[in-house]
Chain A
Amino acid sequence: MDQRSPISLPGMLIAAIATVAGLGAGVDPWLAIALLIVWLGTLWLAGSNPPPPRERNDDPPISRDRMSVLIENSSAPILLLEKGRVVVANRSARESLGQHIVGQDSRVIFRQPAAVRLLDRAADGSATIKGLVRRRDIWRLNHQQLSDQLAVIELVNMTAEADISRAHTDFVANASHELRTPLASIIGYVETLRDDHGDLAPATRERFLATILAEANRLQNLVSDLMSLSRIEAEKHEAPSTQLALRQHVERAARDAAGPDRQHRLLIEGTQDFTIEGDARQIEQLVRNLVDNGLKYGSESEAVVVTLDEAPSGDARLTVRDFGDGIAPEHLPHLTRRFYRTDPGRSRASGGTGLGLAIVKHIVERHRGRLDITSKVGEGTCVTVRLPSSKPDKAAVS
């Protein structure tokens, strides 16, 4: 109702018309005027005292829709269960657990016995479960029962904390040994040279100096590998967000790794390009490490084939294949462990630090990709890296 004019215009018009009509019909003019005054007075009284605005209902029941709007943008995965079935899942939950989860039985998503027990009890509580999204991750599941049928589940990723404490102990154990060996040999040779009073042959001196240089170089490589490894590990839990045209980076890094001497042994195949969300420097490092390994361990007379194509799942697939001695199957599961060597002498001789594949693995993990190594003894090794591609036509089923 309009606050400024206490009597509404149509009201006045109707009153005026009624009075005029009354006069025309021969009603007593005084009576008509009295009627008009009463009419307008009533309108004025009603108009200046509008009924108080209706009290808002302060506490509407939270409906399922409102709830889903409320939790949609939360960064923690949150699910709403009704009678053991998922009825609402927020964006974060759909992203980490898959688009299929809405409408499913809660056990299809949380099949871990600890989670099943917690959800069965239908009481508030929490449980720590392993392998929810990826096989080794650790999540904390908080369960809150809202009513007989409704329950809320909130998930907290605990993987990072568990990883950090483990990584520290691993690092100290491995690195100290690997760093000490070259240092010991440098110190040994330098001491010999210092104690020399001219009785060492110049050729021997040269050889000692060459060894010192080689060991120092190895130490330098080791330190820089260790540093990039810990940098990648530190960033491991935040996915890269820069859009990247994969092909140019792969080609550049592969050429880079081969260098001028081994360029003729490098073969790059595939024409398709992919856009991925990635860290350009890390992707290049990954390709460099893989190509370098391939060239180092593949047969001298054979090429190393780098292929970039589309995996059946629609992801970008990078394959680096060499033709050489191959790797015995019992070594395969350990290849990505730090400082693991199938043949220690040979790896060190060719300047390897034992960290190349560990770095590759961490880069792949950070990019939410998958790393697969297959090898046949006597034929060669094939390393496959699949990276989620942000190409729109992704859902092709083979």
Chain B
Amino acid sequence: MTEHTVKAFDEDITRLRGLIAEMGGLAEVALQEAMEALVKGDDELAEKVIRADKKIDALESEVDKLAVRVIALRAPMADDLREVIAALKIAGVVERIGDYSKNIAKASRVIGDRKKFEPLTLLPAMADVAGEMVHDVLTAYAARDAVLAREVIATDEKVDAFYNSIFRNVVTHMVENPATISAGAQLLFVARNIERVGDHATNVAEMVHFAATGTYPADEDA
């Protein structure tokens, strides 16, 4: 991006990008740790994930304030405006990703005996794919890389396929072992949350694409 005559404007945008990246980093770790807590049954780690979500929320409101300030004071145009609008939207979505991780951590505390649960082995693989999407989309945001953003969008199919297969798997498991129904229902929520993380990573990817090129990927394909 070219430098602006008003140096403070440059600084504001750089700071905005920094805040988004920091939020993203926290959300990425939150998802990893929530899954680790779920698989190992580590309640302390789950607590930590739940507490860490507050930090993401605080950062989101900071992004909001800064973005509104930039729009009010500097009246940005063209790619600068896109950058600020995208930051505003991405912050909201990343905050949601943090919330889903928090939900997973909460569900982890409810699930009892993990040994008997076969579907539990599939969830980390699914979270791995979703985690990779989050990682890649944040890298795409940092590098303003529209090509990588498109790749992230394409990966969402994999997460959806995982979700369907896990859904069937867990339901079958619950039918056969009625004693595990409450834990199984929690696992379904977890799978659902991971699937939503994938969807939200796709949303971020669309906005990264928009901020970088001015079009949404769907417009170009049409």
Contacts and interface: CB of A to CB of B under 8 A. Distances in A.
Contact of B125 (A115, A334, A374): A334
Given A84-B18, A109-B142, A398-B150, A135 B158 contact: no
Interface residues of A, number: 30
Contact of A135 (B135, B146, B161): B135
Contact of A112 (B14, B25, B143, B169): B25
A135 B132 contact: yes
A329 B142 contact: no
A50 interface: no
B150 A100 contact: no
Interface in A351-398: 374, 397-398
A243 to B, nearest CB: 24
Given A111-B28, A112-B25, A104 B17 contact: yes
Given A105-B14, A105-B17, A111-B25, A329 B165 contact: yes
A277 to B, nearest CB: 20
B68 interface: no
Contact of A329 (B14, B28, B161, B220): B161
B116 to A, nearest CB: 19
B213 interface: yes
A21 interface: no
Given A111-B138, A135-B135, A98 B14 contact: no
A333 B125 contact: yes
Interface in A94-113: 98, 100, 103-113
A107 B26 contact: no
A116 interface: yes
Interface of A: 84-85, 98, 100, 103-113, 115-116, 131, 135, 312-313, 328-330, 332-334, 374, 397-398
26 contacts: A103-B14, A104-B17, A105-B15, A105-B21, A107-B18, A107-B21, A110-B25, A111-B22, A111-B25, A111-B28, A112-B28, A113-B22, A113-B29, A113-B52, A115-B25, A116-B22, A131-B28, A312-B150, A329-B164, A330-B169, A332-B161, A333-B125, A333-B126, A334-B125, A398-B150, A398-B220
